[in-house]
């Protein structure tokens, strides 16, 4: 699994993928995306990637498979919070941007 993180951060990554996503087994962390790709290509692990990457990112050596649980796609919920009385116009513009991106 790719994670360019410090050891304390890798512990939270491990907990997330084990407890929330449901990955089982041992976890390997790569220092760079290049190292993670080599590990996946050499069958030393998987490379979880969120979103819609282009096929050029994965190349001919990696295969994308959807992540499902009980037959349904695994989804992540994102939340944004700010104070209700925040009258900053940038906050409202950012909120509208988020709504369009994740609608």
Q: How far is CA 65 from the centre of its chain?
A: 14
Q: What is the pLDDT of residue 8?
A: 65
Res. 51: pLDDT tops 80: no
- Domain encompassing residue 62: 7-68
Number of domains in the chain: 1
Mean pLDDT over all residues of the chain? Answer: 80
Res. 92: pLDDT tops 80: yes
Q: What is the pLDDT of residue 1?
A: 52
Q: How far is CA 84 from CA 34, 71, 87, 92, 94, in A?
A: 43, 38, 8, 11, 14
Confirm whether 26 is domain-assigned. Answer: yes
Confirm whether 89 is domain-assigned. Answer: no
Q: Which residue has the higher pLDDT, 5 or 45?
A: 45
Q: Which helix (H) or strand (E) holds 73?
A: strand 72-73
Q: How far is CA 24 from the centre of its chain?
A: 17
Which of 6-10, 14-18, 23-27, 47-51 has the least mean pLDDT? Answer: 6-10
């Amino acid at each position: 699994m790719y994670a360019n993180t410090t050891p304390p951060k890798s512990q939270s990554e491990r907990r997330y993928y084990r407890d929330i996503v449901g990955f089982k087994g041992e976890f390997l962390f790569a220092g760079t995306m290049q190292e993670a790709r080599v590990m996946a290509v050499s069958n030393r692990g998987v490379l979880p990637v969120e979103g819609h990457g282009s096929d050029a990112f994965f190349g001919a050596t990696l295969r994308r498979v959807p992540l499902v649980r009980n037959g349904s796609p695994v989804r992540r919920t994102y939340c944004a919070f700010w104070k209700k009385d925040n009258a900053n116009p940038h906050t409202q513009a950012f909120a509208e941007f988020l709504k369009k991106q994740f609608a």
